[in-house]
Amino acid sequence: MIILIVIFIIFICWEIYETIYFRSEKFLTIKRRIESYVNNCNELNSHIESLKNTYLGINQLDYGQARYHDESRWNYKRPELKKQKYEPNIYNCSRTICDNARKQPFKYICKYFNIKATEESLSQFENVLNNFESAEQGKFLLKSEKENILNSIKNDIPTLIRVFGKKKLEKKLGFQSIDFSTTYFPRYTFKYVSSGGNASMQCDVVMDIENLNRFVNYLSETVKFKKSVAGQRSLMTSALRQKIMQRDNYTCKICGASTYVEPNLLLEIDHIVPVSKGGLTSEDNLRTLCWRCNRKKGAKIEYPYSSQNISPVENNNT
Ligand SMILES: [Zn+2]
């Protein structure tokens, strides 16, 4: 009992100490000093969140709506049927399909989730891969940048606050929390439920970075490319991203920012002529941009060609 009272008193004292500290002029001065860095982190954080929302424009057919009544008298015996879900990313199927989907997931995803092996869907998945990979890298760079900022004010913050109130300290300094979960990766589910509702089997295919890379390769082998494109096109995979960054010496081609100066800078790969305007995923149409420049560019609807662009858009009047 006494121990409990002591713990309670310590807790109350700690709360009071924290409250007084976070209101003190000393803390507010530190907060103001690093404000612009914190804002920069938060901006990157919301950029990462927007990358995660990259639209997968497939499987958007409107199949209509129907009414359904289950009037059977033996409902109570069907636990698996009760759990049955009907969502666009779930395909309720026979046991055989579920089993086959486990062995050849990509083939069955294409067939039952209506993903056609076309250049358009390939480009979409490449775009998703490119953005998700930036998001995944961004999360860890952001974490590291946040640690750097916290480290720089380490000596000005009381040890007790730093050690026992780290989460609250970050919040009070204005840092948004970073979402490290990977639940945003698209998931395709094949689900079999027996007609009696007592047995079920499920096959989940999560399109994480590794599977997206493999899926892009899979699609590219099935796509029949137009003659003008065949042979000129590369695949936007993790390997190509890495190659382009290396070629550009890890430097943004617009503002010149580089990871040599800013080790935690998030670099992204950009299509100089956008895919939507007929730009190819080829090495000469790709360049490295820092996330800030890429974000600014993405915000523009019309992209003006500049002199540094690749040859196909230059005119021959000269
Ligand atoms: Zn830049």
How many angstroms is it from 253 CA to the middle of ligand 1?
Answer: 7
How many angstroms is it from 265 CA to the middle of ligand 1?
Answer: 10
Residues with CB under 5 A from ligand 1 (ion): 252, 254-255, 257, 290, 293
pTM of the model: 0.83
How many angstroms is it from 261 CA to the middle of ligand 1?
Answer: 13
Domains along the sequence of the chain with CATH: 228-305 (1.10.30)
How many angstroms is it from 147 CA to the middle of ligand 1?
Answer: 23
How many angstroms is it from 150 CA to the middle of ligand 1?
Answer: 25
How many angstroms is it from 295 CA to the middle of ligand 1?
Answer: 9
How many angstroms is it from 291 CA to the middle of ligand 1?
Answer: 7
How many angstroms is it from 294 CA to the middle of ligand 1?
Answer: 7
How many angstroms is it from 192 CA to the middle of ligand 1?
Answer: 49
- Digit-by-digit pLDDT tens for the chain (318 residues) are 888 999 999 999 999 999 999 999 999 999 999 999 999 999 999 999 999 988 776 556 677 888 888 777 765 667 777 777 777 788 999 999 999 999 999 999 999 988 888 888 899 999 999 999 999 999 999 999 999 999 999 899 999 888 888 899 999 999 999 999 999 999 999 999 888 778 889 999 999 999 999 999 999 998 887 777 767 788 999 999 999 999 999 999 999 999 999 999 999 999 999 888 888 899 999 999 999 999 888 755 443 433 333 333 333 333
How many angstroms is it from 157 CA to the middle of ligand 1?
Answer: 33
Residues facing residue 203 across a β-bridge: 190
How many angstroms is it from 267 CA to the middle of ligand 1?
Answer: 8
